[in-house]
């Protein structure tokens, strides 16, 4: 029983870690640099 819990905790930890790594990647590649502009971009003329 205890080992099941520990295994699950470790599994959970790695799922969380994966999410964290994705977050790190997102910040490093500038995904969060401008969260205001992209939502208006579709209104722009492509000129």
Note the residues at the interface with other proteins (CB under 8 A). 2, 5-6, 9, 12-13, 16, 19-20, 23-24, 27, 32-34, 36-37
Residue 25 C-beta: closest distance to other proteins, Å: 11
Residue 18 C-beta: closest distance to other proteins, Å: 10
Nearer to other proteins, 37 or 41 (CB): 37
3-state secondary structure the chain: CHHHHHHHHHHHHHHHHHHHHHHHHHHHCCCCCCCCCHHHHHHCCCC
Residues 32 and 26 sit within 8 Å (Cβ to Cβ): yes
């Amino acid at each position: 029983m205890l080992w099941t819990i520990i295994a699950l905790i470790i599994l959970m930890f790695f799922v969380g870690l994966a999410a964290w790594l994705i977050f790190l990647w997102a910040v490093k590649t500038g995904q969060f640099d401008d969260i205001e502009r992209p939502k208006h971009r579709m209104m722009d003329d492509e000129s």
